[in-house]
Amino acid sequence: MSHVVVGYDGTSESERALRWAVTEARLRRLPLTVSHVWRWPYPISYIDYEGVAIVRRMGEHLLDHGAALARELAPGLKLRKRLHDGSVSPALVHEGHDAELIVVGSHEPDQMPVGSTALQVPAHAGRPVAVVRDSASRDGQVAVGVDGSPGADAALAFGFEEAALRGWRLRAVYGCWEPGAAPDGDLSLFSDTDKLRRVCGTVLERAVAPWRVKYPYVQAATALVLKSPREALLEAAAEATLTVVGARGTGVVETLTLGATSDALVKHAPCTVVVVPNIAG
């Protein structure tokens, strides 16, 4: 059964994520699964079973608090609680294997620690992951990264649906000034910027066209930017409420689990970021 999954640990960041997840579940008419992951913080050789029981109970109390907040925000929402033990990221990826969306909180830009859940979950999940930041003061706009790849098309699908659900505007952004972003790897385009604009502009408009037809009521604009995808999308994110990217675009190194652009946005974008895998393959 499809649902929205959110990780909750009682911090202000996870409360922000919970509020975003409640809105998503309500708009999508899906159940919400509130998940908390607890762990014994010491080596197994130092295990104290009474202490473990106490830590588990603390986790149960945190989970109950998150569920109560969700019910307060949306009284009629169907809600499930899930308590896991172990590592946070694998638990959320497992819980969200059939989810419409997995939602996690995040530190502010440039403050994300190495190994952060906000980096690990989008890198390993096979479902869309929202990394939630405070963008309440921003006007409703979705920025979507486009490069003609299947991953970017999956991002457009999510972005248009989100814009439609929330009544927001959408801006499709193609940062084409990078060898990996050139259509068919044609590096000769970089010696003729007019031709580059024409070719990449065609790719951009063709990518957006079917989604404009499917969502005619979404106010959608396109932007072709002669900068790298990372630079173009970080600039767009500065004005957006939400930025949506494919997990891996045309220029990604095959050994990377998360593409360079999506990794940069999760780490540095000032707004909420959704990373969308190419679920179709």
- Does any domain span residue 261? yes
Triad 152, 227, 172: Cα angle to 5°: 35
Q: Global pTM?
A: 0.91
pLDDT at 141: 95
Using CA atoms, how far residue 236 sits from 40, 110, 215, in Å, is 42, 17, 22
pLDDT band at 192 (very low <50, low <70, confident <90, very high): confident
- Does any domain span residue 281? no
pLDDT band at 156 (very low <50, low <70, confident <90, very high): very high
On the question of pLDDT at 270 being above 80, the answer is: yes
Angle between helical axes of 150-166 and 193-214 (0-180°, round to 10): 50
Domain boundary among 132, 157, 172: 132
State the Cα–Cα distance between residues 133 and 107, nearest whole angstrom: 7
Cβ pair 46, 36 in contact under 8 A: no
State the Cα–Cα distance between residues 37 and 167, nearest whole angstrom: 34
Tens-digit pLDDT profile for residues 45-70:
676 777 778 888 999 999 999 999 99
Q: What percent of the chain has pLDDT above 90? A: 67
Q: Domain of 261: which CATH number?
A: 3.40.50.12370
pLDDT at 258: 66
**Considering its fold, how many domains does the chain have in total?**
2
pLDDT at 196: 84
pLDDT at 256: 42
**Residues β-bridged to residue 84:** 37
The parent domain of residue 15 ranges over 4-132
Query: In terms of domains, do 147 and 252 share one?
Result: yes
The pair of structure tokens assigned to 24 is 């998503």
- Does any domain span residue 219? yes
Residue 125: how many other CB atoms lie within 10 Å: 23
